[in-house]
Amino acid sequence: MFSLNPRDLERYLKRMGIKMEEVDAAYVEIGLKNGDILRIEGPAIALLKLPNKMLVYQIQTQESSVKVRRRPQQTAEAGYTPTDEDISLVMEQTGATREEAEQALREAKGDLVQAVMSLMQKKKSS
């Protein structure tokens, strides 16, 4: 492993066509597939803009700054009803009708990622 000071690293990345900037964020939230949410307080974030229009966010923080918020378990017996906001989001992401989005959310018991993935797979197999 080699060591570069920040100025040399920035020059090296620039020669490769990569732009690096610091992102001034108070916190970052990451939604996990299981519905839990990671909240990172006071992270140091570097944004790398690659030549192929790809963005890479690098997040650094102390372990004590990461909190996990568990998703409340909703069961079919509890009568899960999708919200208009969730339905709209699934429709926007998949191009599905309102009925398809609502049905996918019910089947996924409110898991937005699972509902979107389910509808996308159905579209691929059609």
Domain boundary among 69, 88, 112: 69
Same-domain check for residues 110 and 80: yes
Whether residue 65 is found in the same domain as residue 83:
no
**In the predicted structure, residue 109 carries a pLDDT above the cut 50:** yes
Domain match, 56 and 90 both: no
- HSE, side-chain direction, 13 A CA sphere, residue 36: 8
Rg (C-alpha) for the chain, rounded Å, is: 20
| pLDDT tens digits along 48-103 | 999 998 999 999 999 999 999 887 655 444 567 888 889 999 999 999 999 999 99
Helices (H), the chain: 6-15, 84-94, 98-107, 112-125
Give me the percent of the chain exceeding a pLDDT of 70. 90
1 is a domain residue = no
Same-domain pairing of 24 and 62: yes
Give the structural domain span for 83: 76-125
Q: How many CB atoms lie within 10 A of CB 119?
A: 23
pLDDT for the residue 73: 58
Single out the residue of 111, 100, 110 nearest to residue 120, CA to CA. 100
